[in-house]
Structure 1
Amino acid sequence: MIVTKITHGLGNQLFQYAIARHLSIRSDTALYVDLAYYRQFYESDTPREFKLHHFDVDYNILNTSPLLYVSKATKLFPNRSFRPFFKLVKEEGFAYNPQPFETRALMVTLDGFWQSERYFSGIGGLLRKELTVKKDLGPVYTAYRDQIAATPVSVSVHIRRGDYVHNTSFSQTFGFVGMEYYERAIARIRERFPNSRFFVFTDDHPWVAEHFRIGDDAVFVQNEGADSDLADLMLMRTCRHHIIANSSFSWWGAWLNERPDKYVIAPAQWFRNKPELDTKDLIPASWVKL
């Protein structure tokens, strides 16, 4: 069995599911999700909800029985090694590491963020099919979706501020990517696609309305309620091209777009103060880094 520890927000959850889904297919075994993270409070983290159950995905919720079995067995037979039965694969560094695919055990537990499409590139088509929201996202979502569909050259722009500005830990690690990045990215898009129309997604609508000048025909998407993140993600993937933030959320909004000719711009500097994190495998080779 494959167990993946699910943590943090929707973008991270999708990465953690994707690698586990690939491993479960390769090993022809069941996939379990460990949701212990959501039963705790972490002062440095932005509170998030588990969201994978809204997608057309198949998994089991981990209960304590497999772990208790291993624990009891080691107590009964303290001199016996149980490594063939249980292995924890903890992510080391940030670049792609083949270790999860080289680990052999009856129960493999994944603990990490696994932010590279190299962990699941072999099942890209399947994931894009599965990672579709099952529920009706409401009339506001539908109106935006139809508007995007009617736009010949639609471009999603994701501006993440929120905890990147107001959470001390996140602002030091990530930070708002800056207006200069968006200005350069928009200029690049307009040069390449003169008839483009921008659909702006953000978690800080008042700030964006005051500071972001992008043209009279731009659409500032405002989904509301508990499912606003799901609606935003599905609308992003509907757009033809993308300008993403240094955010796993908009990474997935762009990646889920199935069009082979999509044009994606991503920030060259993903982290603000983490030079030890190697991001070479984070951005797909076909995307443009600015």
Structure 2
Amino acid sequence: MIITHINGGLGNQMFQYAAGRALALRHGADLVLDTRDFDGTTQFGLGLDHFAIAARQGVAAELPPDRKQAPLRYLIWRGLRLKPQWVRENGLGYNAGFADLGDGVYLKGYWQSERYFQDVEATIRRDFTIGTPPDPVNRAILAELAASPAVSLHIRRGDYVIDPRTNATHGTCTMDYYARAVALIAERMTEKPVVYAFSDDPAWVRENLVLPHEMRVMDHNDSDHNYEDLRLMSACRHHIIANSSFSWWGAWLNPSADKIVVSPDRWFANPKMVNEDIWPESWIRLA
């Protein structure tokens, strides 16, 4: 049995699931999700239940002691190196020893690289098929996207802006980055792009993002329906992502070999934080 710790926003949850799923497949083992971080009031909700994932939420009897609820038992588990084996992500980039891990481990980390699951890519794509049917509004937009030269553009604000600590860690992408990314993709397209802008602050985007192309701001899905935005993003032809795991997945889930994905060259504002493995080889990094 492989247990993976799930926390953070939907994009983080997807990376944590994908790494755990890949390891479980290698061993023919069950994948169990430790979702206890979502008990009570949390900033983000558990969003994996909208996907066709092959895992179950763990119950107390099979999960290791929780640090907050049972601190003494937790210290004994860690100190005596009891099962399941604790495996913490080492740094932000790909951990080369991950593929050699055995069964019976507890994964704690973010695992933000497709290298963790690239060998089972087809399975991960199937697992991240959204099982919840789109509502009429999103169904209509999906039909619209299929018939247009759509480019998704994601602007992450929220805690990236209002929380000083998060802002110092991640920062935000500049309007200049978005303008140059749109220009780069437009140069490579045979049709004029239609930009579909996604954000956790669509009103700000509408007031501040000015582009020389048709732009439609997607503002109808709230945070409880962020998986709908992810589905719409992945249905676009090309993608301009933020330094956000959410739009990373929106671009990655587009299966087209002809897609163009533009990403900021720096994922973190903090110069001490570096993950050179977060970008798939074909993606364009724009400084």
Whole-Å separation in 2 of the counterparts to 1:190 and 1:127 = 30
Contact 1:91–1:113 (CA under 8 A) maintained in structure 2: yes
Which of 276, 279, 284 pairs up with 1:280? 276
For 1:186, the equivalent position in structure 2 comes to: 182
Contact 1:165–1:175 (CA under 8 A) maintained in structure 2: yes
Q: Alpha-carbon deviation of 1:268?
A: 0.3
For 1:144, the equivalent position in structure 2 comes to: 141
Q: Alpha-carbon deviation of 1:226?
A: 5.0
For 1:132, the equivalent position in structure 2 comes to: 129
- Alignment map for 1:46-195 (pairs within 5 Å): 47-67=43-63, 85-105=83-103, 107-151=104-148, 153-195=149-191
Whole-Å separation in 2 of the counterparts to 1:243 and 1:89 = 33
Whole-Å separation in 1 of the counterparts to 2:222 and 2:216 = 19
For 1:224, the equivalent position in structure 2 comes to: 221
TM-score, normalization by structure 1: 0.89
Which of 210, 213, 219 pairs up with 2:210? 213
Which of 254, 257, 261 pairs up with 2:254? 257
- Unmatched runs of 5 consecutive residues or more in structure 1: 70-74
What amino acid is aligned across from residue 144 of structure 2 in structure 1? Q
Moved over 3 A (4+): 81-85
**Post-superposition CA distance 1:46-95 (Å, at most 9, x none):** x00001111011212112213469xxxxx9xx9xx975843111011111
For 1:9, the equivalent position in structure 2 comes to: 9
Q: Which moved more, 1:246-255 or 1:194-203?
A: 194-203
Contact 1:84–1:104 (CA under 8 A) maintained in structure 2: no
What amino acid is aligned across from residue 97 of structure 1 in structure 2? N
Whole-Å separation in 1 of the counterparts to 2:202 and 2:114 = 30
Q: Alpha-carbon deviation of 1:154?
A: 1.4
For 1:32, the equivalent position in structure 2 comes to: 32
1:84 to 1:164, Cα distance in 2 relative to 1, 3 A: closer
Contact 1:243–1:265 (CA under 8 A) maintained in structure 2: yes
Contact 1:35–1:62 (CA under 8 A) maintained in structure 2: yes
Contact 2:34–2:63 (CA under 8 A) maintained in structure 1: no
Question: How many equivalent pairs are there?
Answer: 274
Whole-Å separation in 2 of the counterparts to 1:276 and 1:160 = 21
Contact 1:96–1:119 (CA under 8 A) maintained in structure 2: yes
What amino acid is aligned across from residue 65 of structure 1 in structure 2? A
TM-score, normalization by structure 2: 0.90
Partner SS, residue 214 of structure 2: coil
RMSD between superposed Cα atoms in Å = 2.0
Contact 2:6–2:17 (CA under 8 A) maintained in structure 1: yes
- Unmatched runs of 5 consecutive residues or more in structure 2: 66-72
What amino acid is aligned across from residue 88 of structure 2 in structure 1? K
1:182 to 1:68, Cα distance in 2 relative to 1, 3 A: closer
